[in-house]
């Protein structure tokens, strides 16, 4: 089968043996899913959302997962991000095995190691761009000069320095997406999970958003997974997988 990665000239997605032979990926700060299965529902209504998925993403690698609605992409992000426990298999983030943790421990690991960029930016309406980034530090009691400097650095990096004092309703769709990306990077996550980042953007802004994701991934050494149904935005990815019926290839 010819995958999108092969057709676009990207490195081909590894098979299960390739993932199993790469123990350094998770230990050095990346993401690994080993033989992960997720079954939703019981009995006759049970649905296999993830079917023996193998995935290895190294630090600094930008991986895209493409597939139609209902193929399992959202389930993949939920399990990789520790939002949902798989039925079987192992999930490791930055050397931590999420599947071995309690719910409380998994929440703490998620806050420490994982950043999310959602399909909708989910910015708080009452906060400026700069305040959005500083909120996690404020909640954790770490709102110091270093946090403020990092927020300003990220705002500059995503091209929003002139919008730092603006609230979400004053931003364009592309600017809100960039603010969401900066917020996700604020905690220096080992893993960045991105859900349909271009769904509300036109073709030009879509290309800009994905290019920015790739740049930030490579510069900051983050293991990034982007799920999308849009095959036109995959050129910036280092590796491309296809997901169909819960299977990754």
Residue tagged 């000069």 (tokens): 145
**pLDDT-wise least confident of 151-160, 173-182, 216-225:** 173-182
pLDDT band of residue 3 (cuts 50, 70, 90) is: very low
Q: How does pLDDT run across 122-160, given as a tens digit for each residue?
A: 899 999 999 999 998 898 888 999 999 999 999 998 889
Q: Which residue has the higher pLDDT, 7 or 54?
A: 54
- Mean pLDDT for 29-36 is 93
Return the C-alpha torsion angle 214, 219, 221, 223, nearest 10.
Answer: -10
What's the Cα-to-Cα distance from 13 to each of 6, 186, 202, rounded to whole Å?
A: 9, 29, 28
Residue from 27, 20, 18, 90 nearest 58 by CA? 27
Cα separation, 190 vs 217, in Å, equals 10
Q: What is the pLDDT of residue 28?
A: 55
Residue tagged 């806050």 (tokens): 111
Which token pair is 143? Answer: 């709102």
Q: With 60 as the cut, is the pLDDT of residue 174 above it?
A: yes
Pick the CATH number of 31-124+191-248 from 3.30.9.10, 1.10.10.350, 3.40.50.10490, 3.40.50.300: 3.40.50.300
Which token pair is 1? Answer: 């089968």
- Mean pLDDT for 191-204 is 83
| Domain spans of the chain, in order of start | 31-124+191-248
**pLDDT-wise least confident of 56-60, 83-87, 189-193, 198-202:** 198-202
- Tell how strand 114-117 and strand 88-93 pair up: unpaired
For helices 203-220 and 173-185, what crossing angle results, to 10°?
10
Phi, psi dihedral angles at 103 (to 5 degrees): -60, -40
Q: With 60 as the cut, is the pLDDT of residue 2 above it?
A: no
Q: With 80 as the cut, is the pLDDT of residue 200 above it?
A: no
pLDDT band of residue 78 (cuts 50, 70, 90) is: very high
**pLDDT-wise least confident of 6-15, 118-127, 158-167, 231-240:** 6-15
Output the average pLDDT for the chain: 86
Q: For the sheet containing 114-117, what is the strand order? A: 114-117, 191-195, 223-228, 62-66, 239-244, 247-248
Looking at 41-171, which runs of residues are DSSP E strands?
47-57, 62-66, 88-93, 96-97, 114-117
């Amino acid at each position: 089968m010819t995958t999108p990665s092969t057709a676009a000239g990207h490195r081909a997605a590894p098979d299960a043996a390739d993932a199993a032979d790469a123990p350094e990926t998770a230990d050095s700060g990346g993401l690994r899913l080993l033989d992960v299965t997720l079954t939703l529902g019981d009995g006759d209504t049970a649905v296999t959302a993830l079917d023996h998925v193998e995935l290895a993403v190294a630090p600094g690698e930008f991986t895209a997962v493409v597939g139609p609605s209902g193929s399992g992409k959202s389930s993949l992000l939920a399990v990789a991000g520790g939002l949902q426990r798989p039925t079987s298999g192992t999930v490791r983030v930055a050397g931590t095995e999420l599947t071995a943790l309690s719910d409380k421990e998994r929440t703490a690991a998620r806050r420490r190691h994982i950043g999310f960029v959602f399909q909708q930016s989910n910015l708080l309406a009452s906060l400026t761009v700069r305040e959005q980034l500083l909120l996690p530090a404020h909640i954790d009691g770490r709102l110091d000069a270093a946090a403020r400097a990092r927020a300003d650095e990220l705002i500059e990096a995503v091209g929003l320095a002139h919008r730092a004092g603006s609230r979400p309703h004053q931003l364009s769709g592309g600017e809100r997406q960039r603010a969401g990306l900066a917020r996700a990077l604020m905690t220096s996550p080992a893993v960045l999970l991105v859900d349909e980042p271009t769904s509300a953007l036109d073709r030009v802004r879509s290309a800009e958003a994905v290019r920015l994701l790739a740049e930030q991934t490579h510069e900051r050494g983050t293991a990034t997974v982007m799920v999308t149904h849009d095959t036109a935005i995959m050129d910036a990815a280092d590796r491309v997988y296809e997901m169909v019926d819960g299977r990754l290839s």
